A = this chain, B = another copy of it.
Amino acid sequence: MISAPQGTQSGTKTRILNAAEKFFGEKGFDGTSLRDITTEAQVNLAAVNYHFQSKETLMDAVIERRIAPVNQRRMEMLDAAGPSPTVEQVVEAFVSPLFVMDVLPAVPLIGRVLSNPSQFFERVYKKHLIQVVLRFSDAIAASLPGLPREERFWRLHFMAGSMTHVLALSGVLPLMSGQPVQRGAVLRQLVTFLSAGLRAPVLSPFSEDKK
């Protein structure tokens, strides 16, 4: 059989993945029909169930294709920052891999999945995110030794929230800003904002009891 190298070529599988990525991101999983996808991809309706087994596993494949490289890059950046990273380095490692060119078409979809509780959120979290969250929690602890565990937990998710919001609304926020948006500029402002938030004074007066 010799399965074709599916990387960059425009075979049926890839065209389906691209179309699914577009529609799932724009209209959500339930709001998208397989006929939407196969029409856009210019493939036969049955091709989806032939190459992927079901609509659900198609969605899994769409997510998998983009999220794995993003998380790999995140880990690399954390590694490169060494054992005592600055807050900025940690934030940058978390956020910037989502602002690179090749992830761009998946940004609305990723934002959507990470913003909404669903079967997919749970799956993605268990398969791809648990390890990332733990690793970044440690990295934040290394960069902010005085921050109690509970505050670290919440601030990490506040950070994730700002990021996913920008991702999910990346199609509509620029229209609201009233001027052309440079991706790099938004990234820099996001890193600045989040770093300052992470560094906010510790709230709990009884601090550091948890190990």
Residues of A within 8 A of B (CB): 26-31, 108, 111-112, 115-118, 121-122, 150-151, 153-155, 157-166, 168-169, 171-173, 176-177, 179, 186, 188-190, 192-201, 203
- A116 cross-chain contacts in B, Cβ below 8 A: 28, 112, 115-116, 168
Instruction: Say yes or no: B150 contacts A177, CB within 8 Å.
Output: yes
| Number of copies of this chain that the complex holds | 2
Chief secondary structure at chain A's binding surface: helix
Q: 8 smallest A-B Cβ distances: which pairs?
A: A161-B165, A196-B200, A30-B30, A115-B115, A197-B197, A161-B162, A158-B162, A193-B197
Query: How far does the alpha carbon of A171 sit from the alpha carbon of B154 in the complex, in Å?
Result: 15
Query: How far does the alpha carbon of A172 sit from the alpha carbon of B197 in the complex, in Å?
Result: 23
